């Protein structure tokens, strides 16, 4: 059970400044809107029912909004007094006001549970209904290519995978996740998130991002939201020239196959800032931008952050 705030309070003498009571944090925009005293010596208790005094609102449940579907996301606020919160088994990072970001994998089930743990050890839960999506599935009557990566390839590949892992689990001091995301560039969507081939009943890996083609190499792209550069490398075996931006709260963007990178690791970037130029480096069939979004280990659909291509 959540305990509500005490019905009345006394403004301490230590908070009196120049004969006026210092206002509660959200008492209003006008610093003179509170109760005034002639001096600290004649300060009197003020009842919480006094219309000039506003107590913080007590949230007894989660509040949230977003795209509650496979590959989607929510932004929200935890109940008042929350010590920790999680979506399923994934911990949520709460800011000073209890705001959080959470998301749903491409293959998420039909329900997820938000859980808040309170100071007294009790919990508040909210069950979410996650809508399924009709993915672009192509069934082909050929066998999936046999065999895996060679030992020599994996000797080269493993350090790349380690660098990508480290970049995508970074916990940077940034709140780009709170912004309304924009498209990194305009163009034709040549590959959609979640599309997949089934080889004689055996599923191949699904497309983990969205591909944007503009017709030629060298077109600039911008940051869809603010963040910190956690990886900026050239010549990776599959991704080519690769850039990863941490937007905070476990959310990050990766940009693949670039012809040029204009930022460095550790740089803070603002939404709309030019990050580099698209290309066909790495394993790509032509110039395009591959943009993928992840929240921790969860892969997300960028178009659910931006809306349709303008």
Tell me what pLDDT residue 51 has: 54
Strand ranges inside 72-199, DSSP E: 73-77, 82-87, 90-91, 99-103, 111-118, 123-129, 137-140, 188-191, 196-199
CB count, 10 Å around CB of 128? 18
Least confident of 194-208, 232-246, 251-265: 194-208
| Stretch 214-232: mean pLDDT | 95
Q: Which fold has domain 137-306?
A: Glucose Permease (Domain IIA) (2.70.70)
Strand ranges inside 8-71, DSSP E: 8-9, 16-17, 20-21, 46-47, 63-67
204 compared with 176, residue with greater pLDDT: 176
- Highest mean pLDDT pick, 13-17, 40-44, 125-129, 283-287: 125-129
pLDDT higher than 80, residue 103: yes
171 compared with 6, residue with greater pLDDT: 171
Which residues, other chains included, contact 236 with Cβ-Cβ below 8 Å and sequence gap of 6+? 160, 242, 282
Tell me what pLDDT residue 296 has: 96
Using DSSP's 3-state secondary structure scheme, residue 17 falls into: strand
Tell me what pLDDT residue 182 has: 98
| Stretch 252-262: mean pLDDT | 98
| Stretch 222-228: mean pLDDT | 98
pLDDT higher than 70, residue 140: yes
pLDDT higher than 60, residue 19: no
pLDDT higher than 80, residue 99: yes
Residues 294 and 168: beta-carbon distance below 8 Å:
yes
Distance in angstroms between the alpha carbons of the first and the last residue of the chain = 47
pLDDT averaged over every residue in the chain:
85
pLDDT higher than 50, residue 18: no
Q: What are the extents of the domains in the chain?
A: 1-58, 63-129, 137-306
Going by CATH, does the domain composed of 63-129 fall within 2.60.40.2470? yes
């Amino acid at each position: 059970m959540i305990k509500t705030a005490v019905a009345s309070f006394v403004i301490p003498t230590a908070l009196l400044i120049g004969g006026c009571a210092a206002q509660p944090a959200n008492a209003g925009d006008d610093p003179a809107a509170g109760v005034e005293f002639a001096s600290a010596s004649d300060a009197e208790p003020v009842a919480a029912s006094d219309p000039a005094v506003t107590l913080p609102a007590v949230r007894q449940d989660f509040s949230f909004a977003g795209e509650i579907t496979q590959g989607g996301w929510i932004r929200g606020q935890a109940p008042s007094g929350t010590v920790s919160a999680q979506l399923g088994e994934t911990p949520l990072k709460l800011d000073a006001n209890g705001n959080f970001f959470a998301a749903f994998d491409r293959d998420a089930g039909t329900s997820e549970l938000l859980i808040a743990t309170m100071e007294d050890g009790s919990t508040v839960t909210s069950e979410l209904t996650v809508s399924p999506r009709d993915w672009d599935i192509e069934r082909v009557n050929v066998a999936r290519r046999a065999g895996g990566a060679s030992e020599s390839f994996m000797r080269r590949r493993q350090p790349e995978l380690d660098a990508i892992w480290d970049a995508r689990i970074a916990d940077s001091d940034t709140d780009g996740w709170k912004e309304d995301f924009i498209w990194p560039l305009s163009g034709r969507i040549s590959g959609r998130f979640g599309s997949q081939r089934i080889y004689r009943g055996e599923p191949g890996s699904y497309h983990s991002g969205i591909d944007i083609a503009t017709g030629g190499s060298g077109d600039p792209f911008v940051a869809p939201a603010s963040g910190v550069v956690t990886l900026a490398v050239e010549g990776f075996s599959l991704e080519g020239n690769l850039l990863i931006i941490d937007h905070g709260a476990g959310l990050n963007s990766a940009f693949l196959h670039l012809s040029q990178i204009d930022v460095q690791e550790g740089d803070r970037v603002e939404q709309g800032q030019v990050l580099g130029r698209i290309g066909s480096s790495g394993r790509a069939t032509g110039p395009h931008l591959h943009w993928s979004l992840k929240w921790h280990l969860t892969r997300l659909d960028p178009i659910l952050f931006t809306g349709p291509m303008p």
